[in-house]
Structure 1
Amino acid sequence: MDITFEHIFRLGNVVFENNLYRQIHYPEMLTRYDSNFIEFKKIPTLSEFKSAEGYLRSFHLKHGQNHVKFYFPENEKPIVELIDYLNHSGYNIGFLELYTIQPNQFPIVQENPDIEIYPVTDKNLETFLKYQYQQDLEYGSEFANQKQQLHKRNFENPNILQLLATYKGKPAGSVDIIITKDTAEIDGLVVDENFQKKGIGSRLQKFAMEQFFNKTIILVADGEDTPRDMYRKQNYQYHGFKYHVNKVCIPESN
């Protein structure tokens, strides 16, 4: 099975589309950059980008959003002229990397009785939500509050399995597993900074491997963060990259 970024779960609705790009919008969570953006179908010229930029900025302003975000086609890098414009315009430029693994290829994980992994149920949902709220506060209270509603919607979604990890009984990590017919996507893997380097992330992944042993496991990593090095050591296979840019727009003064 040839896995591409098209297999990655995308939270949001297509609200506009033309030959150059499609626009994704998610009114339930306007502060979530990865649900409110423009995705180019081909690398735009500088003029085409500026036109799309103006459109998205205007659209977001009408909805009280102060950011713009753009994704570029898979395995294509923006042209030099466009990169120069993005750098001079204050954009953050990054790229994602796509990885897959067959569950039987995941390395052996050393057992640690201090670590427990639990699927989220009615009994531990409140504990899970409180843990997530503390993690999401890093991005502001508005984001954290909106994310609480998203976690609740995910809990009701039969195609999403939420996992909570504890260390000596205290919430320490979590992940969402997005399930399709052929794949299980590891999404939002988070380990509390107070419990890192104890093997919690590996245990969460191992639980997913055991639960979905007959599916291809997929995940997306930030191309500039260190977890990608861990994934390579864990036998994940690299499948490609995707550039993205975003910036927070300062409101214009009257």
Structure 2
Amino acid sequence: MDIHKEGEVVFDTARFRHYHDPKMLSRYDSNFIAFKEMPNKKEFSDTEKYLQEYHVARGQKHVKFVFPPNEKLDDSLLTNLSSEGYDTGFTELYKINPRDFPGYEMQKEIEIAHVGANQLEDFLTLNYQQDLVFGSAFASMKQENNRSHFKDSAFGQVIAYYNGVPAGGLVAILKEQTVEIDGLFVLPEFQRKQIAAHLQQFVMKSFPEKTVILLADGEDTPREMYKKQNYEYVSFQYETVKVFEED
């Protein structure tokens, strides 16, 4: 299934595909290399050297690598990544037919809406709050990214209000056969009120003819919620990131 990648492909080889986004240089998920086949130690080292030089030349302070789907990293590679300061984890891909999503009775306190001109500033402010954990520079760059998506029909922004107060949101990325739920979040003070479930239900009702997909952190608790909501596990994929300082 085609998961959206924000960066553009700048280099494509038999071994890997290099994604880069000059407008969001600090966003790991937009600037990385995806291996097409599992690299050996030398292949990884050569590719790492290439990406680090590419990023340093552009003022970027990270390298990220995504490994082929459904392939586990062997112990020697994991040990080497750990010793070199990499943070390694995995994501899981889930899918669901909208008719299989459990029904939630709409609560009068909750309002879900497509983001239009009247909701845009609320949506931007919410996301800025959420993105501040990655720093104010990143949060500001992400604002421009969100404004660009607002004008793009391939992206559907959705916002949740609780008693009239902006509480959470998501982005629905539209493809021919699928809708990908991306960036689903609820502010801490509004969690445990079924707002995330209502946001998802809004997507299911908006696109009943498409397969809904999403990525979950393989070690986070939301994946358990998706299983209870009848999402079907599809695949896993390892990835690793290292943050460095320029010399």
Instruction: Judge same fold: TM > 0.5, yes or no.
Output: yes
Q: After superposition, what is the alpha-carbon deviation per residue over 1:20-47, rounded to whole angstroms, capped at 9, x for unaligned? A: 1111000010011000001101000011
- TM value normalised by structure 1: 0.96
Query: Structure 1, unaligned stretches of length 5 or more?
Result: none
Please give the alpha-carbon distance, in whole angstroms, between the structure 2 residues aligned to 1:167 and 1:245: 37
RMSD: 0.8
Partner of residue 234, structure 1: 229
Question: Among residues 66, 71, 76, which one is paired with 1:71 in the alignment?
Answer: 66
Give the C-alpha shift of residue 111 in structure 1. 2.1
2:86 counterpart of 1:80: no
2:203 counterpart of 1:208: yes
Partner of residue 157, structure 1: 152
- TM value normalised by structure 2: 0.98
2:234 counterpart of 1:245: no
Partner of residue 141, structure 1: 136
Give the C-alpha shift of residue 128 in structure 1. 1.2
**Count of aligned pairs:** 247
Please give the alpha-carbon distance, in whole angstroms, between the structure 2 residues aligned to 1:213 and 1:41: 33
Query: Structure 2, unaligned stretches of length 5 or more?
Result: none
Partner of residue 30, structure 2: 35
Please give the alpha-carbon distance, in whole angstroms, between the structure 2 residues aligned to 1:97 and 1:143: 25
Identity fraction in percent? 47
Task: For 1:38-187, list aligned pairs within 5 A.
Answer: 38-187=33-182
Structure 2 counterpart of 1:94, one-letter code:
G
Q: After superposition, what is the alpha-carbon deviation per residue over 1:70-111, rounded to whole angstroms, capped at 9, x for unaligned? A: 000000012222111001111111101010000110011132
Please give the alpha-carbon distance, in whole angstroms, between the structure 2 residues aligned to 1:237 and 1:88: 35
Task: For 1:184-195, list aligned pairs within 5 A.
Answer: 184-195=179-190
Please give the alpha-carbon distance, in whole angstroms, between the structure 2 residues aligned to 1:20 and 1:155: 35
Please give the alpha-carbon distance, in whole angstroms, between the structure 1 residues aligned to 2:239 and 2:55: 18
Deviating runs (4+, > 3 A) in structure 1? none
Give the secondary-structure state (helix, strand or coil) at the position aligned to 2:132: helix
